Amino acid sequence: MSSEKIVVCGGGGFIGGHLVGDLLRQGHRDVRSVDAKPLSDWYQTFPSVENLQLDLRDLAACERALEGATTVYNLAADMGGMGFIENNRALCMLTVLINTHLLMAAKKHGAKQFFYASSACVYAADKQTDPNVTALKEEDAYPAMPEDGYGWEKLFSERMCRHFREDFGIATRAARYHNVYGPHGTWTGGREKAPAAICRKVIQAKLSGKHEIEIWGDGQQTRSFMYIDDCLLGTQRILKSDILEPINLGSSELVSINQLVDIVEGIAGVKLKRNYNLSAPKGVNGRNSDNTRIKQLLGWEPSTRLRDGLEKTYAWIHEQIVTGARDKSAPALAYA
């Protein structure tokens, strides 16, 4: 494999940790993983990798992180599930410092490739008012009306990537992730996303014998969820492609939150009484990924069935709970 240096920013987080592991399995040897958290709080660590604890909101830290870099994956962000991003808009917006300073450092050090992990939260809110949503196409991000805070930061950073490509020649690529889930991620503490939260709640209800579950909202809101393996494959294929504009990277298998609970109940072999918390954060009413463009340009789309991915996620979270493992999501800065 190429000896060129690959830097994974946010490598101590969920997606970043999986990406580092995947790069090593492919035979890459010159990999640097960077995260703000202490190494003991990283979701996955690999001794053969150069692991650096750096706060990438700081320009000097970004310049240190990207020394000698040829390829940069920016997966770093202060983020979480809907409960976090609706209540921490300023923190989410401050993530703009990470991508901005990383791009500046990439320019300074002559990095050739730069991948930015964007989000489906960039899409205009008025396109997501109906649970029976029409799948979101890339052009639906404009006129801009994204998720307040987190979505605005992602949309701005997409544009920053575009202009660094146009003005300075850095080969930037951006993918709009749609709800990535899987093992080795946040599963409790307030930053977890719906698949992990539902798995945890079902497991705890089954183990406790109290067969009830709280669902945020009325359960009718719809989403698609992409398994981590599809995310890794799509991310690397997009970076190596000629796709210049931000592109959807997500499953097109649409389910309601109630249906998500149905699936996890089926995996667990239980039926629970559902208590709906209508005052809790629930996000938009409907969101799904239109995969027309990625199929046209790559001849591929995420294809892991939700049931299959949830079985693996459920098994991993069950192990964490029964062994008393602590969740490693950081209280201050949890990179993706």
Distance CA 121, CA 20 (A): 25
Known catalytic residues? 150
Cα distances (Å, whole numbers) of residue 136 to 44, 91, 99: 33, 26, 25
* Cβ–Cβ under 8 Å, residues 202 and 274: no
> What pairing do the DSSP bridges indicate for beta strands 222-224 and 212-216?
unpaired
Six-digit token pair at 141?
Answer: 């991000």
Six-digit token pair at 62?
Answer: 């970004």
User: What is the helix (H) or strand (E) element at residue 119, kind and residue range?
Assistant: strand 113-119
Name the DSSP class of 291.
Answer: -
* Phi/psi of residue 272, nearest 5 degrees: -120, 150
Six-digit token pair at 134?
Answer: 């029409």
